[in-house]
């Protein structure tokens, strides 16, 4: 099935834009520097490349235009005639022919000038030949500028054409303007065609799709047709005539029997008879619309006679030429698109008629006979009067029954199943006792006794049980609220006087800590960070921590020892593994006699250089895959520093001493202005320099 999609045609640029595109691409994609000192062969090759590249770009662009636009002789006759109606195929072919001629001329120009460039004897002559070649190519494109603009207009219009498949199942709607064709397609498809109470609202073909018996049907709404000579019809009417002539479809001829469209039934009948030659070999249905305004039985006798004549003509246009329909009820139908009465019946009748015709045509074709020869359907005939039912072994039947029973046992019965088994809704009542959790399942269905051991059971039930239950629920709610309260504070009523003093001290300390935290938080950005060794207030000392813990009644010894062990630096100790590797056994060393060799070895090992990581070992978190990738990254980083180091530029690792810059500036001023300064003034300046920069100032003063 061939699909025509004209929306994929590439945009056709104007003549000026065409030239700009090609020349800018040539400038960007070819070398741009040439010197007169080059060898003449290199100069010739330089300019020949530019000429060939420009010609190739022109050739590719023009070839794309010629190939993407459809050839009227190769596409379906429906699209060929439709394009002829819309654009005049003579002008269309002439425009494409001019584009083809321009492509050939540009190729010939490039060939001639490449031949001349082979004999260019200087840079100037080669450049002049290149300019002439490109200029002549651009002149050819300028001359076909009107053809390019015409093809671009055609492309834009073709992109707006509906995608119609001429070979699929199609329903075609035709008739006078304003008879309800667009309303009908809007009812049976998802198309949204504009509907207005005046003629020629629909000015082009519109397509919708509907389903019938799991098959997709294509519904085409055509513009209205007037009853006038063929040569007097405009482009809008010719679109409808083209669709009727070339599409193999079921035709619905709409008839407005109310006359509200502005045309009488006689005029509509005249149109029908003028175009009935286009209905040959197509299923035709006469649809009488707007029955909500005028019923078919209520029209005059003359109009009814005209309708019957159209019906008789429609009966001749069924499956074969001159064939007689088997059912004339599907030839003349009535409906109203306003009330939607009869709309679905018209759609179903059209689909059925079209389907019958397509099946009949396929049955008559030779392709069916070729297919039937490939297979044979055998139909067994009875050889006697004896019945032979299917024989299934008993073992198989038993296995199936057993399997079905097992499946039924595994499947849990639902309340719905129990309801269906026990009389259905209204008869079966679901038992809630079967869900009780009791020590014995047999107790679930027991009936509560009224008399037990000679006593009335109801006498032992508290009459205030509901009230007590409400009190218990209120008490439980109050307890839950108390547990959920996060701001629980000890009231101190049950504490001893000493505990109350400690609680007051704790609360006071808590308030002070909160205030200090808030002050620190408010001034965190502007407050500098001071190391603890410069803490003048001695806020972070172990002695103060010990005093505070002692006041709270706690032993501060463990906390102070732990703080000192954390702050004191640990000495490097020799590990047992290292001793094992060196072949020594520490268990054999006597604790009372110091081993001098062991002490010297541990000292030398502590002084020895620690093992460093290999330079290209990948560290987790660096984002590198392996050592090869890290080596490549390091090399790229070193390479990027070479130019800066070569120019002696400042890098991110260079240290900048601002005081040295200031000293140099002062020394330069003293040296240049020493003739104007007296000796006392110079001495004062040197002393100031010494005070500012310390010993470095002394060295600079000595230099002066």
Mean pLDDT estimate for the chain: 79
Asked if pLDDT for residue 533 goes beyond 50, the answer is yes
DSSP sequence for 444-487:
TTPPPPSEETTEEGGGGS-TTHHHHHHHHHHHHHHHHHHHH-S-
Strand order in the sheet with 250-256: 206-212, 215-221, 170-175, 250-256, 284-289, 332-334
* Three state DSSP letters for 408-452: HHHCCCCHHHHHHHCCCCCCCCCCCHHHCCCCCHHHCCCCCCCEE
Mean of pLDDT values over 99-124: 93
% of the chain surpassing 70 pLDDT: 78
Of 311 and 373, more confident: 311
* Three state DSSP letters for 503-563: HHHHHHHHHHHHHHHHHHHHCCCCCCCCCHHHCCCCCCCHHHHHHHHHHCCCCCHHHHHHH
Asked if pLDDT for residue 258 goes beyond 90, the answer is no
Mean of pLDDT values over 161-189: 88
Q: Which residues pair with 250 in a beta bridge?
A: 171
Give the per-residue pLDDT at 17. 93
| Half-sphere CA count of 21, side-chain side, radius 13 A | 13
> For 37-41, 75-79, 436-440, 607-611, which range has the lowest pLDDT when averaged over its residues?
607-611
Asked if pLDDT for residue 585 goes beyond 80, the answer is no
Give the per-residue pLDDT at 682. 55
pLDDT digits (tens, 9 = 90+) for 631-649: 888 888 888 877 777 776 6
Distance CA 501, CA 520 (A): 29
Backbone conformation region of residue 454, classed left if phi is above 0, alpha if psi is from -120 to 50, else beta: left
- What are the angstrom distances between the C-alpha of 188 and each of 7, 199, 546, 653? 27, 22, 93, 79
Of 336 and 604, more confident: 336
Q: Which residues pair with 390 in a beta bridge?
A: none
Give the per-residue pLDDT at 704. 46
* Residue (of 96, 6, 107) closest to 56 by Cα position: 107
Mean of pLDDT values over 525-544: 67
Mean of pLDDT values over 340-367: 85
Distance CA 556, CA 546 (A): 5
* Residue (of 342, 238, 230) closest to 285 by Cα position: 342
Give the per-residue pLDDT at 540. 63
Question: Could you tell me the two tokens for 305?
Answer: 């006679």
Whether the predicted model's global pTM rises above the 0.75 cut: no
Give the per-residue pLDDT at 606. 47
Asked if pLDDT for residue 538 goes beyond 70, the answer is no
> What is the separation, in whole angstroms, between the first and last Cα of the chain?
101
Distance CA 126, CA 117 (A): 6
Asked if pLDDT for residue 230 goes beyond 90, the answer is no
pLDDT band at 496 (very low <50, low <70, confident <90, very high): confident
- What are the angstrom distances between the C-alpha of 332 and each of 306, 327, 345, 370, 466? 13, 11, 11, 38, 80
pLDDT digits (tens, 9 = 90+) for 50-67: 999 999 999 999 999 999
Mean of pLDDT values over 79-93: 85
Distance CA 405, CA 397 (A): 12
8 Å CB contact between 230 and 262? no
Tell me which DSSP letter residue 572 carries.
Answer: P
Q: Which residues pair with 456 in a beta bridge?
A: 451
Of 581 and 285, more confident: 285
Asked if pLDDT for residue 695 goes beyond 70, the answer is no
Asked if pLDDT for residue 578 goes beyond 50, the answer is no
> For 105-114, 120-129, 290-299, which range has the lowest pLDDT when averaged over its residues?
290-299
Question: Could you tell me the two tokens for 419?
Answer: 């309801």
pLDDT band at 529 (very low <50, low <70, confident <90, very high): low
Mean of pLDDT values over 438-456: 83
Backbone conformation region of residue 662, classed left if phi is above 0, alpha if psi is from -120 to 50, else beta: alpha
């Amino acid at each position: 099935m061939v699909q025509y999609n004209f929306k994929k045609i590439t945009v056709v640029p104007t003549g000026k834009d065409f030239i700009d595109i090609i020349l800018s691409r040539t400038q960007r994609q070819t070398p741009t520097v040439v010197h007169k000192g080059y060898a003449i062969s290199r100069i010739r090759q330089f300019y020949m490349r530019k000429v060939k590249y420009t010609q190739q770009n022109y050739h590719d662009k023009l070839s794309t235009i010629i190939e993407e636009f459809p050839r009227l002789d190769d596409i379906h006759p429906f699209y060929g005639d439709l394009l002829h109606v819309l654009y005049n195929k003579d002008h269309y072919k002439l425009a494409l022919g001019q584009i083809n001629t321009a492509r050939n001329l540009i190729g010939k120009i490039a060939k001639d000038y490449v031949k001349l460039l082979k004999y260019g004897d200087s840079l100037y002559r080669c450049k002049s030949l290149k300019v002439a070649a490109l200029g002549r190519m651009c002149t050819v494109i300028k001359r076909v500028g009107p053809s390019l603009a015409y093809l671009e207009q055609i492309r834009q219009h073709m992109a707006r054409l509906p995608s119609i498949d001429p070979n699929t199942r199609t329903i075609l709607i035709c008739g006078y303007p304003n008879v309800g064709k667009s309303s009908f397609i809007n009812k049976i498809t998802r198309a949204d065609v504009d509907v207005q109470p005046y003629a020629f609202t629909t000015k082009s073909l519109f397509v919708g799709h509907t389903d019938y018996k799991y098959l997709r049907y294509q519904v085409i709404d055509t513009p209205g047709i007037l009853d006038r000579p063929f040569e007097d019809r405009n482009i809008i009417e010719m679109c409808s005539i083209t669709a009727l002539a070339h599409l193999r479809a079921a035709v619905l001829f709409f008839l407005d029997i109310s006359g509200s469209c502005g045309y009488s039934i006689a005029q509509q009948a005249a149109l029908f008879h003028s175009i009935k030659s286009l209905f040959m070999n197509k299923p035709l249905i006469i649809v009488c619309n707007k029955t909500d305004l005028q019923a078919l039985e209520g029209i005059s006798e003359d109009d009814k006679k005209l309708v019957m004549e159209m019906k008789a003509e429609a009966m001749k246009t069924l499956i074969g030429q001159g064939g007689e329909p088997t059912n004339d009820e599907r030839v003349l139908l009535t409906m109203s698109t306003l009330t939607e009465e009869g709309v679905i019946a018209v759609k179903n009748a059209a689909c059925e008629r079209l389907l019958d015709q397509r099946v009949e045509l396929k049955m008559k074709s030779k392709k069916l006979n070729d297919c039937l020869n490939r297979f044979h359907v055998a139909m067994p005939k009875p050889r006697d009067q004896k019945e032979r039912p299917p024989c299934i072994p008993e073992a198989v039947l038993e296995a199936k029954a057993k399997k079905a029973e097992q499946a039924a046992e595994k499947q849990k019965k639902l309340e719905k199943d129990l309801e269906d088994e026990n009389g259905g809704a209204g008869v079966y009542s679901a038992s809630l006792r079967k869900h009780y959790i009791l020590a014995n399942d047999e107790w679930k269905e027991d009936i509560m006794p009224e008399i037990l051991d000679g006593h009335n059971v109801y006498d032992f039930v508290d009459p205030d049980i509901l009230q007590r239950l409400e009190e218990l629920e209120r008490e439980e709610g109050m307890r839950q609220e108390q547990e959920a309260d996060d701001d629980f504070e000890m009231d101190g009523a049950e504490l001893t006087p000493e505990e109350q003093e400690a609680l007051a001290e704790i609360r006071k300390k808590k308030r002070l800590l909160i205030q200090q935290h808030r002050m620190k938080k408010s001034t965190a950005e502007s407050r500098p960070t001071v190391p603890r060794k410069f803490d003048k207030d001695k806020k972070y000392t172990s002695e103060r921590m010990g005093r505070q813990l002692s006041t709270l009644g706690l032993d501060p010894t463990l906390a102070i020892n732990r703080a000192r062990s954390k702050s004191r630096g640990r000495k490097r100790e020799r590990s047992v593994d290292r001793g094992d590797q060196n072949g020594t056994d520490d268990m054999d060393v006597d604790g009372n006699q110091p081993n001098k060799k062991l002490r010297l070895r541990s000292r030398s090992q502590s002084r020895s250089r620690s093992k460093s990581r290999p330079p290209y070992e990948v560290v987790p978190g660096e984002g590198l895959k392996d050592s090869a990738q890290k080596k490549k990254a390091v090399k790229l980083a070193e390479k990027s520093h070479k130019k800066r180091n070569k120019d002696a530029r400042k890098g991110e690792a260079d240290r900048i001493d601002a005081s040295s810059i200031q000293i140099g500036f002062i020394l330069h001023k003293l040296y240049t202005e020493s003739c104007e300064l007296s000796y006392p003034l110079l001495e004062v300046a040197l002393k100031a320099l010494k005070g500012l920069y310390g010993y470095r100032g002394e060295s600079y003063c000595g230099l002066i």
